[in-house]
Amino acid sequence: MRLFRKKDDVPKLSIWQRIKDAARTDFGVLLRGGVDDGSLEALEELLLEGDFGVTTSLALVADVERLAKQGKVKTEAEFKNALANGVEQALRAGNSNPALNYAASGPTVVLVIGVNGAGKTTFIGKLCAQLKSEGRSVLVGAADTFRAGAIDQLRVWSERSGADFVGGKPGSDPAAVAYDAVDAGISRNIDVIIIDTAGRLHTSDDLMAELRKVNRVITKRMPTAPHEVLLVLDGTIGQNALAQARNFTKAVPITGLVITKLDGTAKGGIVVAVHAELDVPVKYVGLGEQIGDLEPFDAAEFAREVVDT
């Protein structure tokens, strides 16, 4: 994961480094006199502030405490290593394979969902570029027909990456656009079909019903599809992402998570918390606005960055 990067020769700190910098004093005193109740309490507070959630935070603290009692955590380096291993294990628990699911035959259909402003359109553009760089043909279906600007924006991203594009008129039936996109992808022997959907409040029953319709229509045209339903979550909103994720899972079966804006002010622990809550793998993280700012998720690298090892 490239959480450290430069722009115009100016180092750009990752969000994890910002957490470490903000908590430098706490980390410095955690092992003063050994791992005791005070240092464990400080760790728990830091994890909660970092949006790891209560369940995950308590589990990580308990793991560090257990290792300390066994005499395996005596130095700051050992403490960091224990915490990093705990974070990695939490991310590898259950359904955790970050690889994109590809169809056994025919096009792979990826349905992208999420609330307004989460970064779905930008993610789709980045994913198109990544898939094209791997030598795959890509078609984008603009099923967000509520905003004319959304269709135009997605068309521009498609042109930039060299992907095919299928879009309807503003106000047209989103499910019909999704159907047409899958149909076109099959007829053109496309490798991957990516279907955008309108951003919607996770509390809107009508919009969630429409999302279910889009999902059904895709399956009607291609019974094995969609092969991926990726929920895009804004990494800066912390625990609110959990509420969004819970409601979307009630509408459609989510197969993977995309966490965006991790180059911004996100605290990052939400990545662990959402995976633990939903038992759904994190597949991609967005690290910026440029077309190349998308990384396949790597639990080990993420864990190391969290504790700055």
pLDDT of residue 287: 76
Sort 7 into a burial class: Cβ within 10 Å, 0-12 / 13-18 / 19+: exposed
CA-based max dimension of the chain? 68
Tell me the mean pLDDT in the region 267-288: 88
Which backbone phi and psi does 104 adopt, to 5 degrees?
A: -65, -35
- Among 257, 216, 263, 256, smallest CA distance to 236 is for 263
What letter would DSSP give residue 33?
Answer: T
Tokens at 127, concatenated: 């994913």
Per-residue pLDDT tens digits for 177-217: 999 999 999 999 999 999 999 876 656 778 889 999 999 99
- Among 230, 126, 109, 251, smallest CA distance to 181 is for 109
d(CA 187, CA 264): 41
What letter would DSSP give residue 165?
Answer: E
d(CA 84, CA 42): 16
Reported as a pLDDT band with limits 50, 70 and 90, residue 18 is: very low
Reported as a pLDDT band with limits 50, 70 and 90, residue 5 is: very low
3-state secondary structure of 283: strand
Which backbone phi and psi does 210 adopt, to 5 degrees?
A: -65, -40
Beta bridge partners of 192: 108, 138
C-alpha 165 chain-centroid distance = 24
* Contact in structure between 297 and 284 (CB atoms under 8 Å): yes
Residue-level length of the chain: 309
3-state secondary structure of 194: strand
pLDDT of residue 257: 96
Per-residue pLDDT tens digits for 209-253: 999 999 999 999 999 999 999 999 998 888 888 888 988 998 899
What letter would DSSP give residue 64?
Answer: H
Other CB atoms within 10 Å distance of the CB of residue 72: 13
Q: Is the pLDDT of residue 9 over 60?
A: no
Report the Cα–Cα distance between both ends of the chain, in Å, rounded. 14
Percent of the chain with pLDDT over 90: 48
